[in-house]
Structure 1
Amino acid sequence: MLGMDVGQIIAIALLLILALSLFGSLLKSARLRNALIWVLIFGGFIFGAGGWDEISRSYFQPQATFTEARVEVPKGRDNHFRLTLQINGVDVDFLVDTGASQVVLNQADAARVGLNPDTLAYIGIAQTANGDVATAPVRLDRVVLGDISDTRVRASVNSGQMESSLLGMSYLSRFESIEIRRDMLILSH
């Protein structure tokens, strides 16, 4: 079970045992009970094989809090800071990366916000930990984080494989200060 620790495996196993015992005692029909057991077994395999990372990122990732003067971003389970911004009206999850010089969209996120990665001009080069990668400069019509809204934000689309889009310094520098206190990233504006 990829990406799962022992505690998660035990919790899922206990939930399955509880569900099976509950449904087993409630269902008098052996045929219906067996069908339900098979659904739970196959669902558990699907969930364990690839769904846990996506579900945990979507539902168990600590969320940012917004005040009048700042954005507080708790460190996630993966020890990274992540923010969800609206790009052209679409929610996009970003890895906050102070080592990235600009906002970088992966190809899937670029397509979701209305850009066609196949027609972009990949004329830039980004130096990454995995080597040089071609990038296409773009402008994002509207970028929203909480009550902060920007238009015509410079960004680039990465031609390589990236798990997550990056929120780099070209956007982060709009804040007056960027501070990390233990497990909290604080963006003051």
Structure 2
Amino acid sequence: MNDPDRNRRRMARLMTHLTWVVVLAMLTLYFNNFIASRDNPNATLALSDSARPEVVLDRNRAGHYLAPGRINGQRVEFLLDTGATNVSVPQGLASELGLQRGAPMQSMTANGVVTVYRTQLDSVELGGIRMQDVSATINPGMSENIVLLGMSFMQHLELIQRNGQLTLRVPDAVR
């Protein structure tokens, strides 16, 4: 025989399970977005409306400034590093970007002295700031696909750090 109460109980149990799955999925999405915004508060980088190009970055919870940008028109993730002489591109990402290895050179990094290779970037963009012919290095020892945005790019900018924010601005003389 077919018991209607039994079918209702089965349906109620199924609906309860489905509700929990949906709630857990929504919580997972929320917390993934929360963690991502905490690790990179600049993921959706806004441009300034000022007359001269300027970018304002928020420091992440580790004290770093991460931001999306472009190298030769292709999207990359930058970690601003005023201690780096040049823009430093991981080998794997350099291959994806089609960068050519130039002359080898020794570079002092946080992990000691490493061999890197000179290269030239046609363009580097961070927010509304764009520069051409930027010196860079290709670093085979970097495992992540995060580009260190060094002083070969930032030396042409005004840098102002205040209250957990870093403002990068093109000086009037450069424009």
TM-score, scaled relative to structure 1: 0.64
The answer to whether the Cα contact below 8 Å between 1:64 and 1:83 also exists between their aligned partners in 2 is: no
Which residue does 1:181 correspond to in 2? 162
Q: Identify if the C-alpha distance between structure 1 residues 188 and 110 changes in structure 2 by more than 3 Å, giving closer, same or farther.
A: same
Counterpart of 1:79, as a letter, is: G
* Offset at residue 129 of structure 1 (A): 1.6
The answer to whether the Cα contact below 8 Å between 2:55 and 2:128 also exists between their aligned partners in 1 is: no
Which residue does 1:130 correspond to in 2? 111
Which residue does 1:161 correspond to in 2? 142
Which runs of no fewer than 5 residues in structure 1 stay unpaired?
Answer: 1-26
Question: Partners in 2 of 1:34 and 1:102 — Cα distance?
Answer: 54
Q: Identify if the C-alpha distance between structure 1 residues 179 and 52 changes in structure 2 by more than 3 Å, giving closer, same or farther.
A: same
Please report the RMSD computed on the Cα atoms of aligned residues, expressed in angstroms: 3.4
Aligned length: 155
Which structure has the larger Rg? 2
Aligned ranges 1:1-189 → 2 under 5 Å? 28=11, 55-56=36-37, 61-62=41-42, 63=45, 65-66=47-48, 67-69=50-52, 70-115=54-99, 120-121=101-102, 123-163=104-144, 164-175=146-157, 177-189=158-170
Q: Percent identity?
A: 30
Question: Partners in 1 of 2:75 and 2:102 — Cα distance?
Answer: 24
Which runs of no fewer than 5 residues in structure 2 stay unpaired?
Answer: 1-9, 171-175
Which fold has the larger relative contact order, with Cα–Cα distance below 8 Å and residues 6 or more apart in sequence? Answer: 2
The structure where helix makes up a greater share of residues is: 1
Q: Identify if the C-alpha distance between structure 1 residues 137 and 182 changes in structure 2 by more than 3 Å, giving closer, same or farther.
A: same
